[in-house]
């Protein structure tokens, strides 16, 4: 039986993970003023950041169409799909519509779409879990059960020191954004149980915010030795490396670092960090 893993381009990967998991990514499109970007391997993330920083307007994102997904559902008997949280995008519904389209023509094919209830490295870890299950030769139903359970237990946090995009897109009110910037408050955000964005804690300044993040992770009640922790960064490699060094003491099974692509960069902005485990 042939298997295939498909994800939208919010799934942030590095070259090593690309080789090991072989995820087929379906790209978002990102518009900022008169600039249009396709969130694929050819995207110039530095150019996107520069355009975002210079624009007073919100970025506009277009999720992959059902046709985009359907074209990636071919070539395997069993297809497992991972999308960004349904609460943040229409991508999950688009992937489901693609499933209906494909299975109408190929009813014997197996397709399951996972709502990651997360983004970025939350999707990355979900894809890794799927690959582990495939390598264990689990049945399709066993893979779905095990991965859905993993998603429900997964935790995602992020720190964005530049909230401009979240304010521009209405995720945070303009009044709160002004107060946060004026007081040098750095919020520690999370993915809620249903996959929305929530506030966990806040601190004055970046160093204190990252210390709070380490404390939050340390007190999360998770068996770290059984978990991989993934860190994605938006043009902030040193922050990611420093955070990894701090979190080594928790004895995670592994800690991986990736760089955000276009969509994740749009959410956390330049200098942002996303953590999932």
Q: Which CATH number belongs to the domain containing residue 142 in this structure?
A: 3.40.50.10170
What pLDDT shows up at residue 243? 98
For 169, the domain range is 156-276
Residue ending a domain, choose from 103, 122, 153: 153
- Where a domain ends, among 99, 128, 153? 153
Residues 174, 222 share a domain: yes
Strand order in the sheet with 78-83: 23-26, 3-8, 78-83, 110-115
CATH number of the domain encompassing residue 164: 3.30.1180.10
Q: What is the residue-level pLDDT of the chain in tens, covering all 277 positions? A: 799 999 999 999 999 999 999 999 999 999 999 999 999 999 999 999 999 989 988 899 999 999 999 999 999 999 999 999 999 999 999 999 999 999 999 999 999 999 999 999 999 999 999 999 999 999 999 999 999 999 999 999 999 977 666 666 666 666 565 556 656 789 899 999 999 999 999 999 999 999 999 999 999 999 999 999 999 999 999 999 999 999 999 999 999 999 999 999 998 999 999 999 9
What was the pLDDT predicted at 184? 76
Q: Are residues 41 and 149 in the same domain?
A: yes
If asked whether residues 146 and 168 sit together in one domain, one would say: no
User: Read out DSSP for 126-180?
Assistant: HHHHHHHHHHTT--HHHHHHHHHHHHHH--EEEE-S--HHHHHTTSS-HHHHHHH
| pTM for this prediction | 0.94
Q: Which residues contact 260 (CB under 8 A, 6 or more apart)?
A: 12, 45, 120, 232, 233, 234, 268, 272, 274
Q: CA-CA distance, 172 to 28, in Å (whole number)?
A: 22
Q: Considering 153, 169, 189, which residue would you say is the last residue of a domain?
A: 153
Looking at the DSSP bridge assignments, the partners of residue 232 are 258, 274
Q: State the Cα torsion 244-250-254-255 to the nearest 10°.
A: -20
| Residue-level pLDDT at 209 | 95
249 DSSP assignment: G
Same domain, 113 and 173: no
Give the tokens for residue 136: 């264990």
Q: Given this model, what pLDDT does residue 158 score? A: 96
Per the structure block, which two tokens stand in for 12?
A: 């942030």
98 and 166 in a single domain? The answer is: no
Give φ, ψ of 176 to 5 degrees: -65, -40
Round the CA-based radius of gyration of the chain to a whole number and report it: 18
Q: Are residues 216 and 270 in the same domain?
A: yes
115 and 213 belong to one structural domain:
no
DSSP letter at 193 equals T
109 and 165 share one domain: no
Q: Which residues contact 217 (CB under 8 A, 6 or more apart)?
A: 155, 157, 229, 247, 250, 275, 277
Q: Are residues 10 and 139 in the same domain?
A: yes
- What is residue 58's predicted lDDT score, i.e. its pLDDT? 86
Residues 114 and 185 in one domain: no
Structural domains counted in the chain: 2
38 and 144 share one domain:
yes
Give yes or no: residues 14 and 136 share one domain: yes
d(CA 87, CA 195): 6
Say if residue 221 is exposed, middle or buried (CB neighbours under 10 Å; 0-12, 13-18, 19+): exposed
- Nearest by Cα to 174 from 56, 55, 31, 51: 56
């Amino acid at each position: 039986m042939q298997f295939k893993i498909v994800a939208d381009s919010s799934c942030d990967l590095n070259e090593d993970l690309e080789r090991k998991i072989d995820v087929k990514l379906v790209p978002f499109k990102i518009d900022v003023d008169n600039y249009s970007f396709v969130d694929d391997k050819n995207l110039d993330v530095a150019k996107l950041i520069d355009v975002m920083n210079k624009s007073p307007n919100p970025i506009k994102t277009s999720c992959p169409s059902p046709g985009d997904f359907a074209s990636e559902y071919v070539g395997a008997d069993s297809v497992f799909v991972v999308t960004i949280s349904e609460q943040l995008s229409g991508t999950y519904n688009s992937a489901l519509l693609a499933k209906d389209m494909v299975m109408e023509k190929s009813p014997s094919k197996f397709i399951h779409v996972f709502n990651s209830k997360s983004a970025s490295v939350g999707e990355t870890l979900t894809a890794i879990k799927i690959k582990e299950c495939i390598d264990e030769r689990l049945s399709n139903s066993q893979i779905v059960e095990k991965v859905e359970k993993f998603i429900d237990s997964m935790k995602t946090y992020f720190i964005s020191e530049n909230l401009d995009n979240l304010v521009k897109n209405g995720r945070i009110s303009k009044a709160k954004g002004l107060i946060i910037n004026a007081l040098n408050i750095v919020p520690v955000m999370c993915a809620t149980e249903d996959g929305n964005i929530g506030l966990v804690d806040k601190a004055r300044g970046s160093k204190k915010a990252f210390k709070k993040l380490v404390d939050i992770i340390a007190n999360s009640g998770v068996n770290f030795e059984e978990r991989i922790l993934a860190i994605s960064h938006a043009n902030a490699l040193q922050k990611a490396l420093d955070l990894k060094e701090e979190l080594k003491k928790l004895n995670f099974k592994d800690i991986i670092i990736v760089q955000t692509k276009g969509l994740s960069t749009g959410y956390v902005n330049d200098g942002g960090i996303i953590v999932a485990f």
